[in-house]
């Protein structure tokens, strides 16, 4: 059994610990020491001192070498990283293998970005006031990074928050989700083994909300990276010091529109994957699907038939498609929302049942009212809702009615329809002929409105964690 000690040089254990349990079989897989106020203060002081002493900043070649070695170690320890992620987070083995591969590629992407990112030359000598001058910019770290992470991608989210900080030259302090800290500690320890001095990336497990808020909003933090609920994210942003940047990644209630010409055979497997991947515990999981009246019931019934064939159960088994929800409270919440929709007139075409070991059956709802919770709030569970529409613009209007905006999708063979919907559908990204959960780690990934603030994606995060500093030289030799 793993025992996690807070990775803060010189900090003492608080004497309190948190049990880490498998969400599937409830077995204890680890114990994490809980950080107290002294440990958090120590971490902040270390990060602040590092940033203020420019002589201790890590040169670019050293940071490059550390990240290159990190990727090599992760590849060598691939199986261990996968197993730990499955056991603590419950994402099935087949999907956790993809997550770890993405995490390794994310570290490599940091290296690629570092090799091609630079400041810029500012035009001078173009009028009398700028004569005899040369100007250019360089990039410097913005300051210590506080990374507050979530449970649903326990390794890859940490990589997206921490590896860019290393690339940018920022000291980092990481608070993983209390349910899934092992993958975070695995990555931070690998960074240290790859040559990153321990004080440059510290990790703490914090259960006290006030203490976590103190860390995230401290005056010494230059950048806050937060992944979690909108309620907490916006509260933290409101308490940040002037000049502190942040990136907030909340959730969506992702809409998909099937145009009348959509190919059902092409669409079905993508909706199936996008809706039930990781039991729907993804911020851009397919949730609301709008299908033209006349085709909607057939599509919903075919989706339900396919959903019942997905294997729900032990995430460590290679043939499991859908694992557990993160805890029993989430199972109860999803069950309550489904029952509310059913009482209000939704037709349950499949699922709608609690299963053993924190699992919930893959559920397809037909025509739930627009005002019930499965239609207005992020389910974060294995539930997909199918709605009938008469006119395409009606579907767009209904998809746009919520104060959230993240990734959306459209299925069509017609370029004119694709552009019509793209220009009118709320979203930071619109996928055409793909599901809403599509992502590669170099693309911009951003929630708008209540769904978030700032832009994720490895290159974008690195850039946001840096400032552009200008030098202007005045010389009559120029």
DSSP string, 30-90: EEEEBP-HHHHHHHHHHHHHHHH-GGGSPPHHHHHHHHHHHHHHHHHTHHHHHHHHHHHH-
Task: Please give the CATH topology (third level) of the domain spanning 255-432.
Answer: Aldehyde Dehydrogenase; Chain A, domain 2 (3.40.309)
Q: Is there a contact between 62 and 28 (Cβ–Cβ < 8 Å)? A: no
Spatial separation of the C-alpha atoms in residues 3 and 233, rounded to whole Å: 29
Spatial separation of the C-alpha atoms in residues 233 and 227, rounded to whole Å: 8
Is 330 annotated as catalytic?
no
For residue 13, the model assigns a pLDDT of 83
Spatial neighbors of 458 by CB under 8 A, at least 6 apart, are 106, 109, 110, 113, 160, 163, 164, 441, 442
DSSP state for residue 280 in the 8-state scheme: G
Task: Please give the CATH topology (third level) of the domain spanning 2-250+451-471.
Answer: Aldehyde Dehydrogenase; Chain A, domain 1 (3.40.605)
Spatial separation of the C-alpha atoms in residues 86 and 238, rounded to whole Å: 35
Q: Is there a contact between 368 and 383 (Cβ–Cβ < 8 Å)? A: no
Q: Pinpoint the residues of the chain covered by CATH 3.40.605.10.
A: 2-250+451-471
For residue 1, the model assigns a pLDDT of 87
Q: Pinpoint the residues of the chain covered by CATH 3.40.309.10.
A: 255-432
Which residues are registered as beta bridge partners of 203? 7, 174
β-strand pairing of 429-432 with 383-389: unpaired
Spatial separation of the C-alpha atoms in residues 248 and 231, rounded to whole Å: 11
Structure token pair of residue 173: 């302090």
Phi and psi angles of residue 368, each rounded to the nearest 5 degrees, phi first? -65, 150
Spatial neighbors of 227 by CB under 8 A, at least 6 apart, are 148, 149, 150, 157, 161, 249
For residue 103, the model assigns a pLDDT of 99
For residue 14, the model assigns a pLDDT of 86
Spatial separation of the C-alpha atoms in residues 326 and 24, rounded to whole Å: 8
Distances from the Cα of 163 to the Cα of 70, 134, 183, 201, angstroms? 10, 34, 14, 10
Structure token pair of residue 298: 């057939």
Q: Residue 309 half-sphere exposure, CB side, CA atoms within 13 Å?
A: 9
The C-alpha torsion from 364 through 370 and 373 to 376, rounded to 10°, is 110
Of 147, 170, 140, 169, which Cα lies nearest the Cα of 64?
169
Angle between helices 156-168 and 93-116 (to 10 degrees): 10
Range list of β-strands (E), 395-434: 404-405, 407-411, 429-432
DSSP state for residue 118 in the 8-state scheme: -
Scored b (16 or more CB within 10 A) or e, 138-170 reads ebbbbbbbbbbbbbbbbbbbbbbbbbbbbbbbb
Spatial neighbors of 38 by CB under 8 A, at least 6 apart, are 11, 12, 14
Spatial separation of the C-alpha atoms in residues 458 and 467, rounded to whole Å: 16
For residue 164, the model assigns a pLDDT of 99
Is 283 annotated as catalytic?
yes
Structure token pair of residue 425: 């559908």
Tens digit of pLDDT at every position of the chain (478 positions): 899 999 999 998 888 999 999 999 999 999 999 999 999 999 999 999 999 999 999 999 999 999 999 999 999 999 999 999 999 999 999 999 999 999 999 999 999 999 999 999 999 999 999 999 999 999 999 999 999 999 999 999 999 999 999 999 999 999 999 999 999 999 999 999 999 999 999 999 999 999 999 999 999 999 999 999 999 999 999 999 999 999 999 999 999 999 999 999 999 999 999 999 999 999 999 999 999 999 999 999 999 999 999 999 999 999 999 999 999 999 999 999 999 999 999 999 999 999 999 999 999 999 999 999 999 999 999 999 999 999 999 999 999 999 999 999 999 999 999 999 999 999 999 999 999 999 999 999 999 999 999 999 999 999 999 999 999 999 999 8
Spatial separation of the C-alpha atoms in residues 77 and 383, rounded to whole Å: 34
Spatial neighbors of 313 by CB under 8 A, at least 6 apart, are 320, 322, 323, 357, 359
Say which of 88, 99, 199, 249 is annotated catalytic: 249
Q: Is there a contact between 267 and 419 (Cβ–Cβ < 8 Å)? A: no
Say which of 110, 170, 201, 283 is annotated catalytic: 283
């Amino acid at each position: 059994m793993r025992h996690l000690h807070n990775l803060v040089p010189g900090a003492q254990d608080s004497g309190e610990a948190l049990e880490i349990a498998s969400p599937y079989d409830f077995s204890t897989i680890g114990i994490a020491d809980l950080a107290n106020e002294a440990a958090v203060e120590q971490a902040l002081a270390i990060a602040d001192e590092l940033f203020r002493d420019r002589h201790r900043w890590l040169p670019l070649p050293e940071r490059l070498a550390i990240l290159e070695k990190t990727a090599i170690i992760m590849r060598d320890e691939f199986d261990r990283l996968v197993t730990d992620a499955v056991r603590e987070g419950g994402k099935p083995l087949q999907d956790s293998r993809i997550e770890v591969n993405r995490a390794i590629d994310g570290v490599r992407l940091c290296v690629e970005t570092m090799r091609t990112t630079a400041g810029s030359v500012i035009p001078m000598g173009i009028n009398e006031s700028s004569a005899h001058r040369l100007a250019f910019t360089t990039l410097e770290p913005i300051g210590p990074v506080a990374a507050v992470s979530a449970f649903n991608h326990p390794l890859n989210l940490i990589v997206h928050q921490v590896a860019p900080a290393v690339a940018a030259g920022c000291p980092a302090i990481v608070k993983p989700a209390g349910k899934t800290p092992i993958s975070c500690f695995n990555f931070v320890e690998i960074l240290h083994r790859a040559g990153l001095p321990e004080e440059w990336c510290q990790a703490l497990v914090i259960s006290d909300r006030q203490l976590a808020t103190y860390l995230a909003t401290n005056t010494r933090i230059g950048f806050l990276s937060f992944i979690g609920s909108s309620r907490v994210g916006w509260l933290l942003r409101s308490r940040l010091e002037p000049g502190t940047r942040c990136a907030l990644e909340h959730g969506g209630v992702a809409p998909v529109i099937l145009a009348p010409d959509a190919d059902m055979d092409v669409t079905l497997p993508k909706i199936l994957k996008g809706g039930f991947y990781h039991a729907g515990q993804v911020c851009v999981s397919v949730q609301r699907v709008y299908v033209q009246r006349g085709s909607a019931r057939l599509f919903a019934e075919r989706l339900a038939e396919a959903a019942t064939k997905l294997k729900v159960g032990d995430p460590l088994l290679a043939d499991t498609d859908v694992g557990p929800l993160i805890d029993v409270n989430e199972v109860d919440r999803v069950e309550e929302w489904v029952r509310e929709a059913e009482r209000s007139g939704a037709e349950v075409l499949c699922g709608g049942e609690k299963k053993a070991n924190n699992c919930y059956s893959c559920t397809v709802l037909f025509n739930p009212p627009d005002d019930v919770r499965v239609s207005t709030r992020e389910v974060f569970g294995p539930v997909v809702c199918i709605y009938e529409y008469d006119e395409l613009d009606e579907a767009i209007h209904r998809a746009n009615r919520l104060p959230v905006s993240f990734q959306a999708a459209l299925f069509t063979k017609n370029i004119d329809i694709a552009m019509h919907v793209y220009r009118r559908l709320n979203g930071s990204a619109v996928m055409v002929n793909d599901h809403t959960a599509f992502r590669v780690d170099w693309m911009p990934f951003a929630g708008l409105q209540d769904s978030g603030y700032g832009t994720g994606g490895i290159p974008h995060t690195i850039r946001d964690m840096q400032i552009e500093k200008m030098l202007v030289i005045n010389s009559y030799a120029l």
